[in-house]
Chains A and B, each alone.
Chain A
């Protein structure tokens, strides 16, 4: 392997090294000394993030099994940063008494799933895609069952592994039919032969449903709420942000390259799925009281908005989806950062507990408001531009009905996001969350999210760069 190849695969190689370093550090740790690996893992992730920002080469390795382009590197950087923030936010949980004796494993599990996502994004062959997808989902199940002393954590792990197993079986059946219909598993050759015969359509539908499970699109979303509610907050935020972002991006790339010739089939399909996903996610989010469950349904409806941009199928669509993923990472992690800080300090997780938060913890309440505004798409924050570009992409293709329906859904979602804001600022509470100070690591994570939300909203250069890297059908 030459030095250029190393540069091309630097994300993957560095992350593998990082996993091994943590594994070794745990093995050779002085006996009887409990150390948290939080600092080590955060440092490693920071190194990978910095290395990822180096200038980007382009190319493919291993005879087309591994492909890298500037856009892929960019998305990998976004995911790496997301994981870094998740680690920052999990710091106080990981140094607490609940996770004594099993600390390094949390980082190993999450980092190996991140590695799986890297390979999934960079795959040039359905075999690599499948292996990456499994590497990105099986360890998450173990991480979801991490809180062994809570029943619902175990249940969440079980639900996740069973639904991920059945979804990958459906996905595999689709891949096998794709292989039968085209005679190859390499993306380039498949794309050349994918003209839309009945068996290819069936294969695509099966393949799409398999991926829809992972992105939790309606009607494949039934696992989402229970898994999000039961898993530890760190794992939930990882699932809803990093994992979902990676799967969405992979779907985007596949639709625009491998399945580009059958756009006439998948555009109406995405239309229907997008509308149903937004409506169902919103309607269920309206009546949730448990914060993690609330975010679960809100993230389902967010996936619906992303599909609006996906369905457009033009250059604007691709860049807007990537941009929205970046914004979504910042805003959802902001919400989760606040939830996790409050949960760690008080153990409270219900929406009523947030009543009067502004009077005791004004800074947390402000960050939460900023993130929720971004999720809802209220102007000055980054989320507004994200949604605007998504809808603009669909409008450019003349999908006005879809844009109108999506806008209506945005208004519904505004209502329930504002419910939380109202609880924090207006509702009175006899026993509000007392004032507390988060530790400086957690605070760094929160500040990063807030910075991202504000900067992304005003720095047009980020979006311009994404637009230059993207391509249409």
Chain B
């Protein structure tokens, strides 16, 4: 592999902060969820790259990425269930329409 490790890390950092940006500017709940998926994906790249380039003796990063993918799936399913429940109530998934509890 002749691409330096820093390139991978910068790529994942960019992806992570694009996710953060999306989480800040968007108000649609499903889009928020997608932004979080971007962030989690960036983290997985980090783990895999560190494992492959720097510490290839044990597969700690590899397994962390594996478990993180499984957990992300579980989290998404619960989030989607809640979003659908909200939608049944108010027929909208814009977070601003939901905000009824302002002080």
Footprint of B on A, CB under 8 Å? Answer: 126-127, 130-131, 134, 138-139, 141-142, 145, 148, 151-152, 154-155, 157-158, 161-162, 165-166, 168-170, 172-173, 175-177, 179-180, 183-185, 225-226, 229-230, 287-288, 293
Contacts and interface: CB of A to CB of B under 8 A. Distances in A.
Interface in B46-103: 46-47, 50, 54-55, 60-61, 63-64, 67-68, 71, 74-75, 78-79, 81-83, 85-86, 89-90, 98-101, 103
Contact of A162 (B33, B55, B81): B33
Contacts of A134: 71, 74-75
A183 B54 contact: yes
Given A141-B82, A169-B36, A176-B61, 4 more contacts: A142-B81, A161-B82, A179-B60, A293-B103
B29 interface: yes
Contact of A158 (B71, B82, B100): B82
Nearest to A134: B71
11 contacts: A127-B63, A134-B71, A141-B79, A151-B89, A158-B98, A161-B75, A169-B36, A169-B39, A173-B43, A175-B64, A184-B60
B96 to A, nearest CB: 12
B23 A166 contact: yes
Closest 8 pairs (CB-CB, A-B)? A176-B46, A169-B39, A180-B50, A172-B43, A183-B55, A165-B36, A157-B82, A161-B79
Contacts of B42: 173
B82 A154 contact: yes
Interface residues of B, number: 40
Contacts of B16: 169, 173
Given A151-B89, A169-B36, A169-B43, A161 B78 contact: yes
Main DSSP-derived SS at the A contact region: helix
B18 interface: no
B75 A138 contact: yes
B64 A154 contact: no
Given A154-B86, A173-B16, A179 B32 contact: no
B74 A148 contact: no
Contacts of A148: 85
- Chain B CB count within 10 A is highest, among A177, A179, A184, A229, for A179
Contacts of B89: 151, 154
B49 to A, nearest CB: 8
A169 B82 contact: no
A230 B68 contact: no
A394 B4 CA distance: 46
A134 B100 CA distance: 28
